[in-house]
């Protein structure tokens, strides 16, 4: 589903559905190529090879591991399939044996989320981090979530009642008609990392909430 949402090509969609067949079902590359074409088979084989790149707690050179991950993938679509697969794995982590939870979540924070960020996939990066955060750092997650839940209602009310009317007036004066204006909370893991840089002082966090304005064309966006 995630690969379809990315609007990837048919071979990539097929490979995303078949990505476990070589490793888990003993299906050969030749069989896949005969039934689904050589391009889909190539991508499935690439995803299987990336499965050998593992993170463990003793791995100190994380940056080298990220580079190795990208180097293994001769086609960027292989990385996209792996990111989509990892996102699905994190969304369904409760069905994995508890002994594996922390390793998978830590691997997600250290390897997968940074790669998604480098590829400009901010929404996937944010969701991967927020799904892994409570598993790897449960106490820190509980603290941040409590603070956000406590402060968000007042902030949303301020944006809605004080800022939005002024913003709409300013946009209208420039002839810009927004398609939508909504609010987003800062991702919890991102907030926690920022708190670490701010001595855990929530008063120094000025972007806990933000307004997102969607317009119809690029010119209006710049205006």
Structure tokens at 4: 């379809």
Instruction: Report long-range pairs for 95-102 (Cβ below 8 Å, ≥24 apart).
Output: 101/135, 102/135, 102/136
> Which are the catalytic amino acids?
23-24
- DSSP H helical ranges for the chain: 2-5, 10-18, 21-25, 29-36, 38-50, 62-72, 76-91, 101-107, 113-118, 122-136, 138-158, 164-173, 188-197, 218-222
Instruction: Show Cβ contacts of residue 151 under 8 Å, excluding neighbours closer than 6 positions.
Output: 202, 208
Q: How far apart are CA 181 and CA 135, in angstroms?
A: 33
Cβ atoms of residues 182 and 210 within 8 Å: no
109: closest CA among 73, 138, 140, 133?
Answer: 133
Query: 188-202: string of b/e by CB count within 10 Å (b at 16+)?
Result: bbbbbeebeeeeeee
């Amino acid at each position: 589903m995630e690969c379809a949402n990315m609007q990837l090509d048919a071979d990539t969609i097929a490979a995303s559905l078949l990505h476990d067949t070589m490793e888990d079902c003993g299906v050969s590359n030749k069989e896949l190529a005969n039934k689904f074409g050589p391009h889909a088979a190539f991508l499935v084989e690439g995803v299987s090879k990336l499965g050998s790149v593992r993170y463990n707690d003793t791995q100190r050179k994380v940056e080298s591991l990220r580079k190795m991950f990208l180097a293994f993938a001769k086609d960027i679509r292989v990385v996209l399939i792996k990111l989509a697969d990892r996102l699905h794995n994190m969304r369904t982590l409760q069905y994995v044996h508890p002994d594996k939870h922390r390793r998978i979540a830590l691997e997600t924070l250290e390897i997968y989320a940074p790669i998604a960020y480098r590829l400009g996939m901010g929404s996937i990066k944010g969701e991967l981090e927020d799904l892994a955060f409570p598993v790897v750092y449960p106490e820190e997650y509980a603290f941040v979530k409590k603070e956000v839940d406590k402060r968000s209602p007042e902030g949303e009310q301020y944006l809605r009642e004080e800022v939005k009317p002024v913003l709409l007036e300013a946009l209208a004066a420039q002839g810009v008609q927004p398609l939508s204006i909504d609010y987003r909370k800062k991702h919890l893991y991102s907030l926690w990392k920022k708190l670490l840089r701010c001595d855990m002082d929530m008063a120094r966090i000025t972007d806990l909430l933000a307004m997102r304005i969607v317009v119809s064309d690029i010119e209006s966006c710049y205006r």
